[in-house]
Amino acid sequence: MAWSTTSSSTPQQKHDVFLSFRGEDTRYTFTGHLHATLTRLQVKTYIDYDLQRGDEISSSLLRAIEEAKLSVIVFSKNYGNSKWCLDELVKILECKRTRGQIVLPVFYDIDPSHVRNQTGTYAEAFVKHGQVDKVQKWREALREAANLSGWDCSVNRMESEVIEKIAKDVLEKLNRVYVGDLDEKIAKFEQLAQLQREFYESIPTLENLNYHQATVQRVTELKMEKNVRMLRLSPDMLSHLGHSNNM
């Protein structure tokens, strides 16, 4: 069973996805619906519902970004108004460079060029920010994120359809993170098994048959490991699984 996490006084569970968004724009609409869809697909997601924020991003939120495998950034009209959101963005892109985190930008009710070039409401936001030390970092981060491959929600289609496609895109990207190395191994062992089968058919000895069967068994084991990884089980469930296998 998967779970979602929120910012609260309760202990946080591990998560795979971090959602960065401007609360007043999308908390109860697009981002809320995306979070619900990810939860339905059993994607463990961190979403911060804290309405009372200070000037500096909290250490717990920085840690939540670092622990994520993938961050979804929901750019909206007022995202650039929030110094908190901009600090989140800088941290997310830092994790992309240093930790290989996947970053998926989503442009909701905003033209991507406004984010990329800080025009429109983003230009207005930076006038309000003034000449604080972080401005150049924020501008560079917005430009970098807006140039990444993502989702433009301004196209003429149902919002529910877009959300479903984004959530499935997130799931597919996470699965590649967890099982990409195994897919490569499985493909190589399957090729080896095919060669061994052909060799056994040409020279049908017991030794050649054993080699082929051992490789087929290895393919089965790797596929089982792939399935377990895709379930992304919690440590206690993995421990139980190991005990069951021993039995």
- C-alpha 127/C-alpha 133 separation (Å) is 14
- C-alpha 184/C-alpha 219 separation (Å) is 11
Contact 86, 127 (CB under 8 A): no
Q: Quickly list DSSP for 14-47.
A: P-SEEEEE-HHHHTTTHHHHHHHHHHHTT--EEE
Tokens linked to 17: 């996805």
Annotation says 164 is catalytic: no
Nearest to 237 by CA among 245, 94, 39: 245
Q: Which of 24, 56, 66, 88 is catalytic?
A: 88
Tokens linked to 247: 């039995």
List the catalytic residues: 88
